Structure formats: structure tokens, C-alpha cells
Structure 1
Amino acid sequence: MQFLEQLTTYLRQTENPVARGQTIGPSRVEPAWARNQLLHALEKLESKESEPRNPIEAPFGFGPHSRLAWLHDKWLKRDAVVRFSQQLERLLTESFARGFSAQQTEALIGVAIERQVGLSSELQSKVRTLELDRLAKVASSRVFNDAYRHLELDVPAYAEQIRAVRVTENTTSLTQIGQVYLELKGFEAVRWLTLIETIQSQGVRDPWRLSPKAAEGLLELSDVELFFELDDPYFHFDWRTLYRLSEFGLLTVDTLEPNRIIIHVGPSGHKLLNEITKNIETPLSVLANSLVADISSLSIEWMEGSNRTLTTSSVRTSTAAEATARQARMVAHEVRNTLVPVKTALNAMYRELLVGAPSEVLARRRDRIDRGMDATFRFIEQLVDLSNLAATPVQPFEPLTAIRDVLTSLEQETGYGFNASLSPSLPPVSGHRARMVMALTNILRNATQATLKGAAVIQVHAETVDAAKAIRITVEDNGPGVPEHMRRAIFDEGVSLRPGGSGLGLALVREVFEKEMKGLVACDASPLGGARFIVRIPVTGAEPL
């Protein structure tokens, strides 16, 4: 999981400019320094300045000079010593060298290189020498393991490739893809990265992104012994992707001998790769697709506008990802509103069953439970209908029947009665009927929550205004009302006057009636003593308000 830790550190430091003085992603080890350290170690070995610590692994029968040539070739081929030093530096910073300066860390790496070629150099502490040997063994296995040779997982490059950061000439900034990753933990964070990779993949040999075809191949070939040649065009995996997935904890790659491996996909890997190959839609995958689409669109806008200034309005336009997030919050808000009364009634019933007769307790509590469950299932049915709205054009509909449907539904759900005065000749309005029903339901539900059952007075009026160019819907109650200084703010997302409220219901009201139906919504004081909500909607064919 070292790669994930490095990625998290890099993104957090990109997000927080104050932390950018720390080491971010790239190693501080200079390639030229690492190569020189190796040459100095080999010169020491050659001049016998130190006795060899152990016999060096070299082909049978090699003499001292042949051994030097073998070590020289082994450690400089494909810059193995550079990659070893960079791997070891990262391991040291996670062990006893955390907070060490670059010079202190380089001194440790220098000792490790000398011990790797067979010299007897040691640290002052035998315990730390043992720990250095352990870390060096891990770094060496990563460098010389046939399955992972000539690999190096470049964290900043990976973050840019999957669009977790946006890199311009002078700045690196965190994108929403990176922000979501930082909010997630454990397996969900891995799922997010893998989804983002597959959505943007450019094929099975893409070194930065897992492709759906490669995911399918991994499932088919798990625990099968594979023979391959490096750069074999028929080998359907990129080594960096295999290495990265192993760092994600999804699989392991066991090297039996050069050009012979076994890939083992673990339980979490099977679960995630199945989701990818079967294209299973989840809330996280919907958000991932939306964010990638948004960032792609914005990138195109920037390219097209490279010789002009990108307008503020184009950047602030409501995006698919924002719509997805709003929809998710709205669903959570509605489901909670319908299930909280059910939970309250059930908790009360459980307590009462300890002391009362079951039939009496059930008779007392069942009605509220049934109403809440019915309301939940009605909302789910509405949600299924709403899922088709994105492809459904705005259409005229009769507002009178929509208002009556809201009143009937809420009377059944809450047991409250409403005093309704509805004009029988309301002209058609244009929009999505189901969305209007949901928004008006939120206003009326707020009125029931602000009043006492049995003493509540909730009035609903609907009439034509402005020479029949608009309709006006008024909802007022005898509750505590809304303080004057809050009457505009309550329509902002996250603002609620009710303890435990989410502040999403009235935000949806404004979105539907003002943004979608081109009308107006306002709140003031009611003569009844509580709040009055006024909605004005232009009739079909009229100018927006």
C-alpha cells in the first residue's frame, strides 16, 4: 500500500499550499549521485579497503575481477542502482529516517549500497543496521523482481494521467477527482481509482490506466501459469498496471523464473474486477463518469479558448457531476424524511412490547409505520420516473392535478389535513411534472413539521395572476414562522432552521421553480402567525418571470 500512501500525501500537499515545502512524490535522490555511490563502493571492494561481508551472488566460477564486472553490470543495467536508491529512500522515510535531511538519508543509502555489493560497512547501531538490511532487501526485490523490472510508479505523473490534478505551466491544482479520492478510505478509495482508470483507459497496454479488457483477462488468467516474452504484443497486460494493482492490494504476481509468472487475484480484486467487466452501475461509478465527462469538457473549452479568456459563466455552468451530487443529496433527504417517523414509531413499539400487550401496541403504532413505508415506496417509484427526465423534454402539464396529487399523498403520509382553495381553471405550465410535485411536497412537509398535529392550520391557495400569464401557489401555516433575516437564506443549500435538518428541501424548491420552470419563490410572514411561501410560475408560452 506504499503507493497509495504516497499518492495521498502528494494530493494532500497539492491541496494545501502550506505543506508544499515538504517532499512531494518525486524522490530527492539524484541519479548521478546514486551511480557515483555504486562506483565508489565497487572501488572500495576492488582495493580491499574493507573485507567482503558475504560471498556475493555471482555466476559459479567467477573470479574477483569477473565478480566486479558482474556487479557493475547488474547495478547499472537499466539504472538499477538509481531505482534501488529511490525505493530505499521512500522506505526509510516510513521507518527510522522519517524527518531526516536529504544528506542524512543519502548517508544511509550509501551504507546500504556498500552492503549490497558485499562490503562490511555498518551503522553505529546494530539494530538500525539490521533494519537497513531489511529495507534494502525489500527495495532490491522490487528492482530485480522479473515481474516488475524497469518499473517505477511515478506518483505525480500518475495523478496527472488520471486527472486527479491539473498541471499548467506554473501551477498544479487538485481536481474534483483528486478531492473525492481524499474523502474516501480503504477499499472505497481503491475502487474510486480503478473506476477512474477504466473510464479513461486507452487500451490493454495503457501503463497508467486499467482497461476493462485487461480486467477481464486478469479474472480469466488468475492462478494460471503464464509464459511470456518481454514486449510480447500478445501479453495483454502492462507491467506498471500489474505493479500498481498489486500495490492496491487487488492481486499478487509471483515470479517462478524469468518469463514465467502466476497472477493471483484476491477476493477484493475479484469483486472489483467483476464490477468493471460487467459494467455494474453504482453511485460511485455514476459520479466517476460524471466527473470525467466534466473535466474532459472543461479541457476542450480551455483548448478551444487558448487565445481568449474563458468566461466565468462557462466555468460556473451547472455540470453533470454537480447534478449527480445534488440528486444524491436530494434522494438522501427524501428517504430520511419518510423513514425517520418509521424509525421513531418502531423504537417506541419495541419499548412498549416489553410491558404491553402486542396487539394493543401494534394497533397503536402500525398506522404511522405503514404510512412511512408507503411514502418511501412512493418516493422510490417517483425516482424511477425521474430517472428518465434527463432524456425527456420539458412538456406542458396541468398544475391543478399536480397540486391535488401532492395534497392527497401528504394527507395519507402525515395524517395532517389541508385547507385548500384551488382555482378550477389553472392554465398549463411547462416543466417536469414529477419535479414540481417533489418541490411542492417539500414546502408542505415543512409546514407539517413546523406545526402541532391537531392544532395545525395549513392553507393552500392556487390562482392565476398577471392577466393569466402566471399562476401563484401560496402555502401558509400557524407555526413559529421564519425570522425575517433568514427568509432568503433558507433557500440556500445547507441552511435549515429545524434541528437535524439537512437544508436540502428548500434548495430543491428554488432549483425547480426558479431554474427549471423560470418562476419565482419567496417566503414572508403569514397572517396565521407562521410562514407563508409564495410560488409564481409562468404559464406555457409566457415570458419567464
Structure 2
Amino acid sequence: MSFIEELKEHLQNVRSAQDGQPAPRLFVPEAKWVRAEFIRLVEHFEREPGQLSPERLIELHQEWSSDDRVVSYASNLAILLQEGFLHGEPRNVIEEHVLIGMMRRMGFSVRALSLTRLLEIDRLSTKAWHQVPRGTSRLNGPAKYALEIRAVRKQGDHQEVSPIGEVFLGLSGRDAIQWLLHVEAAQSIGPTDDWRLSRETAKQLLLTPEDVRTESGWDESALAHSWATLRRLGALGVLELVEEMMDPEGLISGYRLMNEGKRLLEALLAPSETPFSVLAATLSQDESLTALEKEGGGHPGLDTVFNSSAIATARQARLVVHEIRNALIPAQVALESLYNSVVGSQVEAEVARFRPRIDPGIDRALKFVTDLLKTSELAARAPEGFDVLRVLADAVASLATPLRIQLHVAPDLPSLSGYRERFVLAVVNLLRNAEQAGAHQVLIDCILEDNQRNLLLTVDDDGPGVRPEDRERIFQRGISLRPGGAGEGLALVKDIVAELRGKVACVDKPDGGARFRMRLPVAERTPR
């Protein structure tokens, strides 16, 4: 499991605990027990004739005891074991497996219950070893990292996911990594910060994209940046860490900046602000103010969090996005018509000369405002319950359209939980899609499924329909079956339905036309 996946899993566990599902309490071995067992194991090596030379014994002791690394390693391994095949096992079983991991990493021949179990212990042991940052005894795992970058916050004896964490959970792939880098940069206290990438370090990595040394290991003073941060960038795929397998540790002897990492760092250091940079700075400042309020005796709750500057940012973002999209999309469609109309004419070459300067600019602006809307909405406020019939009525009322729209909605349907305005936008996009395809009539049907857990919402139109081979691809961003279409509407519908933990599909409609079907979990069954 990658670092991003581990972090998401941790935040989802914290969120589940917020919703009344207590997270399991993980056992961590006592430091004094770990140190005592470590000495016992090293003494065993010393007593065994011919096992290790005195020089290697000294190296082994220094390697494990330096900065109390053995304690951090044992804690990491215990947690990984409990998150894996030792889930729910008692303390003595966990301690036994931690010892097996220590012994095998030191070079002992150990008998276990099965080869499969040994292989899994070895895998987790390697992971636990490399999670310990060089030069610090603090754990560098996802749980500690989430606290450090304020993706979670402590509330009494429990934790809750902060807006920073909520934004991260709403992103994936490159966007998720870019968000973390922006958050780190907004909070960094300098190049030696173990938990946050500084802008100075990012600049240095771009200036020196490769630094590989032939000597065994690095003197930390040779690099004016945190080793823990370099390791984390390696886990995120920004860097490739070059290792010399001289011993079981695999000493770092350098790094190479990946091509994707170069693009991520360049975006981080862009001279102009971006939706990510603005939101990361805003939410980080909010979390700092929240922490200061708590230290001063205040007890901020959700109202304090969501009535913050993030709300103002989101409101402004929605206005900007609305105006820019309303201006650019019709212009984009008109330009496409213009390009088609001049094909074969005397001005075709002249228009083609300017087109590379026009189209990318419009595409870039539309992507920018889409990202702005996505990030601002995710952090602006908590999801809320809303009535489906009122949402559908609002969506229909907001359209100035010749479409004949009928609503067949079962009475007393349970609420959905999410961002109401976003769902209105999804329904509006489906109706506009039907109109643009040439439909004259739309029927919207919504019922509660027999299992009482989901609403089934169907949008039927009498247009030309969608070919079976296109029914999945039309939800991909940039794919449009209509000449001049931007390919954004149905992709946005899919994103919004996913936010509600639901699914949307274009399915067969026997009597012709298009049918879009959404299955949406009701609020009582949907995690917040």
C-alpha cells in the first residue's frame, strides 16, 4: 500500500470514529521492553561463536540504538501487524511477532508457524524500518504526519478530520499529491522541517534534480534539507531514492527527481496563485487560529470551522466559476463552428495560424475554474441533509428551456446527505445535456428501493439516445458526442454523484432516447 493510500485509510478511520464507529485501539510496545529485548538479542549474537565479528557487532548495536531507532521500529511494526494479519490479537501475540521481526532483520534464523507468515513479517518489517526517519526518533507514519500537517485535529480524547483532510479525501492521483505539497509549503518552518516541504527545498531540487554520491551513506550535514522530507517525497513518487544495498538497511546515497516530480514542484512554485495554493494557505491559517483559540480556553466546534474564511473563498469561487464558464463555453462552441465554416476557404490557413494560441488558452482557463470549484466546495462546509423533491424542483425552475419536464417522485422520500447546490448542478447538467442532444421531453422518476437504503433516480429523454459503446465513455472528462461540446457536463455529474457515495450510469431505454440512472444512498445510511 502506498503512502497516499495509507494516509487515506487513516483519515477514513478517523472519520468513521467521528460517525460513532470507534476505531480499534492499537497496542504499542513499551519502550523499556523493546530496549531490554534488543540487548538480549545482541547478547545472543555475542555468545554464539563465529556469528559476528566484534566490529560488525558494534555496527549492529550502533545501527539499532542510535537515536533509539529500535523503539520507533518496534512501534511501527506493531501497528502494521495489527492493521494486517494480527488484527484484534492480544498483546502477547503482537509482542511475539515483533520479536520475530527484530530477530530476522538482525540475521537470526527463526522458525515460525508458516513460510507465508514469515514472508509477511519480513515485508512489514522492511516497511517499519524505512518509516523511521534518519536522525530523529519520531515516527514518520501517516498518523503522525496527518497531525503534523493538520489534516486531523485533536478534540479532547479523540480526533476529527479537519477541512485540510477532507479536501485530501476528495482528491486522487496527482491532485492528491499536489494538495499535500501545497499544504506542506504553506505550513513549512524551513528546509530542515521533517514534516513539511519548504519552498527553498523545492527550488533546490529543481536546480539539482540529481545528486548521487558513491560514498557509503550520507553525512546529514552535507545536505541542508530534512532527510525525513526526502524520504516522504520518495514515497510520494516525487523523487527516486538511490540506495546502496551494503547491508539490510539499504543506505541512501542520493536521489533523482522524477519527471512527474519536476512537474509537481514547478506547479508548487508557480509565480501566480492557483486554487490549491490559495485554499491550502487559507485552511492552514484557519487551523492555526483554531489551535490558538483552544489554547486560549475556547472550544471551537464545527460552526467555528466552517464559518471561516474558507466559506468566503468558496462563495467567491462559485461566483467566479459561474461567470467564467458562462462566458467561455459558448465562445468555445462558437469558435468550433467558425473553424468548421472556414474549412476549404481562403482564410482557413490564417485561422489555423491563430488557433494554437486560442484553444489552449480557453482549455487552460476552463480547467483552472473547474479545479477552483472542486477544491473550494470540498472544504467550504460540512455535508448536510436535503430533500430530493425540492432539489429537483429547484433544478427545473433554474432552467429557461423549452423542454417539457415531468417529475414523478414518490412521497416522503428520505433525505440525501451531501452538498445540496452541487446536486442541483448535477441535475441541471443532465437536463441541459438532454436539450442539447435534441430532446423535447424529459421524465424524472425517483423511488426508494426495497432495501430502504438507496434512492433510485432516473432521467429519461426522448432524444436520439446514446449508443451502447459510448455509454461509459461519455462520463470521461473531455469526451463529448456533440460537435463543439466541452465534455465537462457529464464528467461533473459523475463527480457529484460520487461525492454522495452514489453511482450514475447511462443504461438502455427500450422505447428510444437516453436514460440516466443514479443510485444514491439515503442520509441515514451515508457516512458524514
- What's the TM-score bracket when you normalise by the shorter of the two chains? 0.5 to 0.7
Q: 1:177 to 1:45 in 2, by over 3 A?
A: same
Q: Which amino acid letter does the alignment assign opposite residue 449 of structure 1?
A: L
Q: 1:449 to 1:170 in 2, by over 3 A?
A: closer
Q: CA deviation at 1:201?
A: 1.3
Aligned-partner Cα distance in 1 for 2:251–2:43: 34
Of residues 226, 230, 242, the one that matches 1:242 is 230
Q: CA deviation at 1:100?
A: 4.2
1:14 corresponds to 2:6: no
Q: Which amino acid letter does the alignment assign opposite residue 278 of structure 1?
A: A
Of residues 449, 453, 459, the one that matches 2:399 is 449
* Counterpart in the other structure of 1:485: none
- The 5 A counterparts of 1:220-259 are 220-225=207-212, 230=219, 232=221, 235-255=223-243
Q: Which amino acid letter does the alignment assign opposite residue 102 of structure 2?
A: I
Contact 2:399 2:428 in 1 (8 A): no
Q: Which amino acid letter does the alignment assign opposite residue 9 of structure 1?
A: E
Aligned-partner Cα distance in 1 for 2:251–2:423: 63
Q: 1:124 to 1:316 in 2, by over 3 A?
A: closer
1:494 corresponds to 2:421: yes
- The 5 A counterparts of 1:443-482 are 449-450=399-400, 452=402
Contact 2:77 2:98 in 1 (8 A): yes
Of residues 68, 83, 97, the one that matches 1:108 is 97
Aligned-partner Cα distance in 2 for 1:345–1:183: 34
* Counterpart in the other structure of 2:450: none
* Counterpart in the other structure of 1:172: 159
Contact 2:178 2:268 in 1 (8 A): no
* Counterpart in the other structure of 2:170: 183
Contact 1:160 1:166 in 2 (8 A): yes
Q: Larger RCO: Structure 1 or Structure 2 (Cα < 8 Å, ≥ 6 residues apart)?
A: 2
Contact 1:230 1:259 in 2 (8 A): no
Contact 1:222 1:262 in 2 (8 A): no
Q: 1:167 to 1:273 in 2, by over 3 A?
A: same
Q: 1:330 to 1:264 in 2, by over 3 A?
A: same
Rg larger in structure: 1
Q: 1:255 to 1:335 in 2, by over 3 A?
A: same
Q: CA deviation at 1:44?
A: 4.8
* Counterpart in the other structure of 1:206: 193
Contact 1:333 1:502 in 2 (8 A): no
Q: CA deviation at 1:266?
A: 0.9
* Counterpart in the other structure of 1:272: 264
Q: Which amino acid letter does the alignment assign opposite residue 24 of structure 2?
A: Q
Aligned-partner Cα distance in 2 for 1:329–1:317: 16
Q: 1:213 to 1:108 in 2, by over 3 A?
A: same
Contact 1:6 1:155 in 2 (8 A): yes
* Counterpart in the other structure of 1:514: none
* Counterpart in the other structure of 2:4: 4
- The 5 A counterparts of 1:70-89 are 71-89=60-78
Q: Percent identity?
A: 30
1:293 corresponds to 2:285: yes
Aligned-partner Cα distance in 2 for 1:451–1:98: 57
RMSD: 5.0
Q: 1:169 to 1:230 in 2, by over 3 A?
A: farther
Report the secondary structure of 1:254's partner residue.
strand
* Counterpart in the other structure of 2:118: 129
Q: 1:16 to 1:136 in 2, by over 3 A?
A: closer
Q: CA deviation at 1:136?
A: 3.5
Query: What does the per-residue CA deviation read over 1:316-362, in whole Å, with 9 as the maximum and x for residues that have no partner?
Result: 88543212223334455556667888999999x9xxx9xxxx99xxx
Query: What does the per-residue CA deviation read over 1:156-198, in whole Å, with 9 as the maximum and x for residues that have no partner?
Result: 4432332222235544332211111111112211111110110
Report the secondary structure of 1:37's partner residue.
helix
Q: Which amino acid letter does the alignment assign opposite residue 158 of structure 1?
A: Y
1:283 corresponds to 2:271: no
Q: Which amino acid letter does the alignment assign opposite residue 247 of structure 1?
A: A
Aligned-partner Cα distance in 2 for 1:103–1:8: 29
Report the secondary structure of 2:427's partner residue.
coil
Q: CA deviation at 1:32?
A: 2.3
- The 5 A counterparts of 1:382-531 are 449-450=399-400, 452=402, 494=421, 500-501=427-428
Q: 1:342 to 1:82 in 2, by over 3 A?
A: same
Aligned-partner Cα distance in 1 for 2:426–2:261: 42
Specify every segment of 5 or more residues in structure 1 that has no aligned partner in the other structure, as ranges: 360-372, 388-444, 456-478, 481-491, 504-545
Q: How many residues were matched structurally?
A: 367
Report the secondary structure of 2:428's partner residue.
coil
- Could you tell me the TM-score, scaled by structure 2's length? 0.55
Contact 1:142 1:148 in 2 (8 A): no
Specify every segment of 5 or more residues in structure 2 that has no aligned partner in the other structure, as ranges: 345-357, 373-394, 407-418, 431-528
- Could you tell me the TM-score, scaled by structure 1's length? 0.54
Query: What does the per-residue CA deviation read over 1:196-231, in whole Å, with 9 as the maximum and x for residues that have no partner?
Result: 110111111122211111111112222123589745
Q: 1:168 to 1:35 in 2, by over 3 A?
A: same
Query: What does the per-residue CA deviation read over 1:45-68, in whole Å, with 9 as the maximum and x for residues that have no partner?
Result: 5666xxx9xx75x45xx4xxx766
Q: Which amino acid letter does the alignment assign opposite residue 39 of structure 2?
A: L
Q: Which amino acid letter does the alignment assign opposite residue 41 of structure 1?
A: L
Report the secondary structure of 1:206's partner residue.
coil
Report the secondary structure of 1:114's partner residue.
helix
The more displaced of 124-133 and 148-157 is 148-157
Aligned-partner Cα distance in 1 for 2:137–2:159: 27
Query: What does the per-residue CA deviation read over 1:427-476, in whole Å, with 9 as the maximum and x for residues that have no partner?
Result: xxxxxxxxxxxxxxxxxx988935649x9xxxxxxxxxxxxxxxxxxxxx
Q: 1:341 to 1:205 in 2, by over 3 A?
A: closer
Contact 2:194 2:227 in 1 (8 A): yes
* Counterpart in the other structure of 1:520: none
Aligned-partner Cα distance in 1 for 2:62–2:252: 23
Of residues 309, 322, 331, the one that matches 2:311 is 322
